[in-house]
Each structure stands twice: as structure tokens, then as C-alpha cells.
Amino acid sequence: MKSNEDVAARKLIDKVVPEPNWGRLQGLFATTYDLRPDFLEMDFLPSVFGLGTWDDRSWASRIALEKHLCEVEAATILAEARRYRGRPRSLRLEFLPAVGPRGAALHAKVTVLLFDKAVRLVVASANLTERGYRQNREVVAVLTASANARKESSTVKAAFTEMQTALAPWLSQDTRKFLDLCLDKVEPWVNGPADPDNAFVWTYGQKRLWSEFVARWPAAEVIRRISIVSPFWSADAGTTLTAFLAELKNVGPLAADAELRLLTDAFEDPDGRILPVLPAGYTSFDWGALGVTATAQPVSPKIYSEEVGGMDGFTGRRSLHAKVVLVEGSKTGLAYLGSANFTAHGWGFLDHKTHSNIEAGLIVRRSVRSEALDRLIPEPAGQPILLTSSNIHCLRPPENDAGEDPWPEFINRVLLAPAVGNEDKLALSIDVNPAIAPSSWSARLLDKDGSRGDTLIDVDATQDRSQSAFIRDLSPEVLNRLLTDQEILVSWPACIGGRPLPLNVESSARTRLPISPGNQRIQEGHLLSYYQGRIAWEDLFPDPDPPVGPPPYSSLPAPPDAGVDRSRIQSYQIREFVEALAGIRQDLKGATQSEPAMRLALLGPVSPFALAQTILEAVRSGRRTPTAAAFQMVELLKCLQTARELPVHDRLSECWVQHLQDATNKIAQLLKQVVAAHKDAFSANKAFLSYQKTVLGSDLKLDI
């Protein structure tokens, strides 16, 4: 029986929860073969951001997550394209589908978390799904580098360096910058060469996993036992194992009594027997000719009561999804743990023209008596079954894979980006590879309510075949549809019915995305209440479609003293504004940690610029005198002027100045509009000109 402590230590989702002393999360990057968006949004991302108990029914919780995504340097998920089942709902999360040569899948499961004071690298067998992180029996290695934990820094650095090569065809510019940032963070903590006994390996293309593994076995050491844990096995029976053993024997001889243990997923038959799931051909192979005694044994599917809060009688089971290979000799144990099943594509036993899967894992070398190696092998069930033809009835053949859906390999990305010549508008951009593009294809909005979606791009055989970018200007109605659907439907001759593709938004344009669907500009009173600390940021974005039922559901609170109409009392308006200035300065101070946070705090829906826009509206509607509005805008400009003196990391100092200048220019333009519309009033008001010059110096010239 496992102890409660052991059970708690095995919770995979907890491996991504940050330590309090690591500081703010600066960004994340993850690769996965399979993805479930609901798990990512309701479980994984809240855990990564350390948001504690998550209530997805709460609109405020969703908005809090959206704000965190607004502020990180990068948040990117790279997933196998042919397994695509829908993108996460936040367009601030970059979702990149990876499609390689057919048969060579993106199968690596790696998560990179960059904090102010640490970098965490998680490599596992688990996909970004609830089954992977909460239900299956998986294997995981967690590497953390920081100023106080430098032991694993060289291994983490090596993983980042090779990652950019392995994933090069699909990485966006933002993701490359983020991985470079991770390398820069780790570099000062590296205090020596990479540890040969802890090698992080990426395998892909012609770089084969078997070669990386076998090369680390001590020359001439006798091999006594080989244990392979895998939920999926090559259907070629012993061919892949024959090649593996042949390569091992090139570096170390097999003992006369060498064992080969195949640990598989479990199946319970109607008689209650637990059988290994393995292709039947493994019983007819001549294992003796290879010099080993081969057995198969299922991994226990049992769930301990400690894992479900002590609930007695719980009948759930854990499916095996871990991938481990352990070779034990007279002195040494060599293990692989990671994403690769023991298949030809996983381990690379292919002809020289065929690409391997993209896999990631850790190869560790220890003493054969190491407890760390023993813990890699999950608890088996029942007795080992000798792999002979007489025991064919003791195996359960695996179910046929449903296969993968077709994918338009000729499309590199689908992006909303600022329109050429007008950065305030968004255009649709589809980048293609003309070398493999079909002669005709189309992109359209998703079908809705039984109606075919409007065509966005239509390419036929008469068009220039060398074209690599297709750009479409968007009407407000089409743009709203795209922001809502977050996908387009692409049709081509091999898939007439069409395949949904995920939409992304260029990083520079994400600030202009609505925080919640259809949200309007936030009222001045609510902005002031936020800056005064009376309401939370999340409260500024009420649920546009609040569910029926009891609280807690977020709804925008009324501004203070809402029962009294003070909208035309100038002294009250200005007092509220002045009391908010300290909060504005504090908000800007907290935004200096990342470039996206700077953009959000200076130019987003809750920012000095947003506040200045509401002030201008108050003047136009007659709710504010021009002089009072001009005073407010000058004070906002002074906040931005003072913010230039805030301490900012050297890497971010240039973009801080740039965003400050951008916000300054936009607010100054609004102030000039107020002055131009009421020139007579300001010409007679010399006191304002003196005040403006005293506060801002000669930085702003008003044409009065």
C-alpha cells in the first residue's frame, strides 16, 4: 500500500504549480501530441499561473486567466496537427499545429515554464489532457534551474538548445524569442558541462532514439535484464525488438540468462483475469534465437483509495500511458523515460529515408541498485506470461487506432494581423507553401445554423502558383465572426468537406482584442474605482450572458455613491480622478515586468489611454467642461512622464520607452482635440496654459 505522501508526490498536475519564491510567470511553451482545450483552460493554465482553486463557472475566474495571458511574454502550445480537435478559446494563447512527413508525428510532451527567478522544464509521457494529467499512469521528469538550484541547469540548457532545432519548422518568431529568453535566464546558472548521466534527448528526422540510448551503455558490460514499459507496440512483433537487441549486443554482450520484460497496458476479461495488451505476433516470435527469455506482464490498473480521498469501493482504473526502457547490467542501469512508445517510429528503427517521430525524453545512467531506477518501473499485475505460441490466448490484441484526419499540409499559418497601412484594423493572412500547394483550394467561415460559411479566400488553377501569402481585408461583421469562431474551414481536393484550422492573432495586435466577447468601453467611473482599489480588474468585465442561478457570478458593481447623480458636479469628478492618480502610477509600476504587460497597462482597455478616451467622451456629451478634461489629461501625461523613471530591466527598457511614448502621443492627441474644439475658452484661460507648462514643461505644444 502506498503512503499518502507517495500518492501526493505522484500528482502530475502539481508538477506545474509554481513555488512562491520563483516570482511571476513570464511565459510558457508546451508541446503535445493530443490536446483537450477544456482541460487546458480549466486545469492546466490555472495551475501554471498559481491561481489556486479554480471555478470555471465563475466569469471572474475566466477573466483573471485572460489577464494573466495578456501579461506574459509568450503562451504557446505546439500540437500534432492531424490530432487537432479545436483550439483553446483565448486568442492570447498562440496555438501552433505541427505537421511533418506522414508517419513522423510530433509526439514530444514537453512543458517550459519561465519565472522571474527560475526555469522549470517538464518532460513526460502525458498529453495535455485530463486523462494524461489526472487519470493515466504516466512517467514524468521535472528539471528546475535557478540561482539556488544549479545542478540541473546544464541539462536544461542542452534541452533548450536542441529544442529549437527539433521544432524549427513550426516555431513562430515570438516563440523563438521566448526560448532565447529561457536560454539567457539559465546561462548564468550553468556551472559546468552537461551531465553525461542525465541527458535530455530530442530525437527527430534521421536522429534516432535507439542510437542516442545505446551510445550511453558502458562498453563491454554484460546485459542481464531489459524492461520495456509501453502502452503501444509496433505491430511488426519482434522486428523492432530484434533490431534493438542487435544494437545493444554491439556494445555489451547478453548474459546467458538474459531477461526481456514487456510491461503493457492491462485488460480485464469476463473471468476477472488481468491480461497484457500486446499484438498476438509477439507469442510466435523465436525469442530464444535472440538469446533472451521474453515475458509480457500487464501494469496494475489499480487506483489506491488514498488517491481518491480514501473512498472505499472505488472501481476506477488507470490506463498505462508511461513509456520507459530500462537496461540493467552487472554494474549499470540505463533508462529512458519520456514520450516514445516502443514502436519503429518512436525509437527510429526505420529505413534511412523515413523520418522518426519527434520525441523528447531523459536518458539517465545510475548504479544498477539505484532506487531511482527501480521507481521507474510501475507495479505489475498477475504473473509474467512467457511469450510462446501456447500462450497466445493470454494476450489481448490492441484495438485498431482510429487514425488521423487529413490536414492541409500546404498551409503554414492562419493569422489576424494589422492591415497594411492601417494598424488599427485587422486583416486575415494565410501563409502557404507554394511548392506543395494544390492547384485549387479555399478558405471560408465555419458553417453555421445549417448554412455554408462565407468564402474568405478562393484559389483556382488560373492563379499564380508562386504566391505564398493570401491577405483578405475584413468587414466588422466578418472580423467578429472570426474572433468568435477562432477557426476557418479549409477545403482542398483531398478533403472536399473541409478541415477546421485554428486562428492566431499577431502579438502586436492582441492588446486590441476584447477581454470578453462584445465588451464595450469601460465607463470612467468604473476605471476610477479600479485605480482607487475599490474593485478588482476582473470586475470590470461582467459576464455578457450571466447564468441563471445563485451567486457567485461576477457582475460589475455600481460605482461608489451610485444612488446619487454627481455626473455633472465638476468638483466631485475631479476629486475622484485625483484620488485615482496614485493607483495609476502603481499600476504602471507593476507593468514593467514584460512587454505585453506594458502594452496592456498603457494602451489596453484598462489604461491611462482608455481613461483619456472616456474623458473626451464626457466633454463631447456635455458632462465635463473642456478645462476640467484638459486638466485630467495633463495629469495623465504627467503619470506617463514620471513612469519613464521607473526601474526597468535592460532587456525591456527600450520597449518601455516606446510604449510610453505611444501612449503619450495618443493622449496628447486627445488633449489637442479638446483644445481645438474649444479654442476660444482656452485662449481666454491663461491659467491653464501656465499650469500645463508647469506640470509638463515644454514636452507638449498646444496650438491655442
606-619 pLDDT tens trace: 999 999 999 999 99
Q: In this structure, what C-alpha cell is assigned to residue 18?
A: 509554481
Residue (of 182, 138, 188, 133) closest to 29 by Cα position: 182
Q: What is the pLDDT of residues 430-455, one digit of tens each?
A: 999 999 999 999 999 999 888 888 99
For domain 4-195, the question of CATH label 3.30.70.790 is answered with no
CA 666 to chain centre: 33
Confidence of residue 224 (pLDDT cuts 50, 70, 90): very high
Q: What is the mean pLDDT of residues 504-526?
A: 82
Strand 504-505 vs strand 411-419: parallel, antiparallel, or unpaired? parallel
Pair 126, 132: CB distance under 8 Å: yes
Q: What is the DSSP code string of 229-270?
A: E-SSB-TTTHHHHHHHHHHHHTTSPEEEEEEEEEEE-EEE-T
Q: What is the pLDDT of residues 123-155, one digit of tens each?
A: 999 999 999 999 999 999 999 999 999 999 999
Confidence of residue 2 (pLDDT cuts 50, 70, 90): very low
Q: So what's the pLDDT on residue 685?
A: 73
Strand partners, 276: 266
Q: What is the pLDDT of residues 567-603, one digit of tens each?
A: 455 677 788 999 999 999 999 999 998 899 999 999 9
Q: What is the pLDDT of residues 401-422, one digit of tens each?
A: 766 678 999 999 999 999 888 8
Could you tell me which CATH class the domain 204-305+318-394 is placed in?
Answer: alpha beta
For residue 552, is the peptide bond before it cis, meaning its omega torsion is within 30 degrees of 0?
yes
Confidence of residue 457 (pLDDT cuts 50, 70, 90): very high
Confidence of residue 539 (pLDDT cuts 50, 70, 90): confident
* Residue 203 to residue 213: CA distance in whole angstroms: 11
DSSP classification of residue 523: P
Residue (of 166, 238, 250) closest to 213 by Cα position: 250
Question: What is the CA angle 389-394-395, rounded to 5?
Answer: 90
Phi then psi for residue 575, to 5 deg, are -60, -45
* Residue 437 to residue 409: CA distance in whole angstroms: 8
Highest mean pLDDT among 423-427, 508-512, 664-668 belongs to 664-668
* Residue 283 to residue 350: CA distance in whole angstroms: 23
Q: So what's the pLDDT on residue 563?
A: 45
Pair 581, 587: CB distance under 8 Å: no
- What is the number of alpha carbons within 13 Å of residue 497 lying toward its C-beta? 2
Pair 507, 73: CB distance under 8 Å: no
* Residue 429 to residue 445: CA distance in whole angstroms: 14
Task: Give the least confident one: 17-26, 370-379, 619-628, 678-687.
Answer: 678-687
Intrachain domains 4-195 and 204-305+318-394 with the same fold = yes
| Whether residue 311 has pLDDT greater than 70 | no
- Average pLDDT score, the chain: 88
Residue (of 66, 24, 180, 96) closest to 511 by Cα position: 66
Q: What is the pLDDT of residues 611-650, one digit of tens each?
A: 999 999 999 998 888 989 999 999 999 999 999 999 998 8
DSSP classification of residue 125: S
Q: So what's the pLDDT on residue 314?
A: 47
Q: What is the mean pLDDT of residues 649-661?
A: 93
Confidence of residue 1 (pLDDT cuts 50, 70, 90): very low
Q: So what's the pLDDT on residue 694?
A: 84
* Cell 502550445 sits on residue: 77
| Whether residue 210 has pLDDT greater than 60 | yes
Instruction: For the sheet with 441-444, list strands across it.
Output: 455-459, 441-444, 487-492, 495-502
Which residue pairs from 528-533 have beta carbons closer than 8 angstroms and sit at least 24 positions apart in sequence? 528/559, 528/576, 528/577, 528/579, 528/580, 528/611, 529/557, 529/559, 529/560, 530/583, 530/606, 531/580, 531/581, 531/583, 531/584, 531/587, 531/611, 532/576, 532/579, 532/580, 532/583, 533/583
Q: Where are the domains of the chain?
A: 4-195, 204-305+318-394, 411-510, 514-696
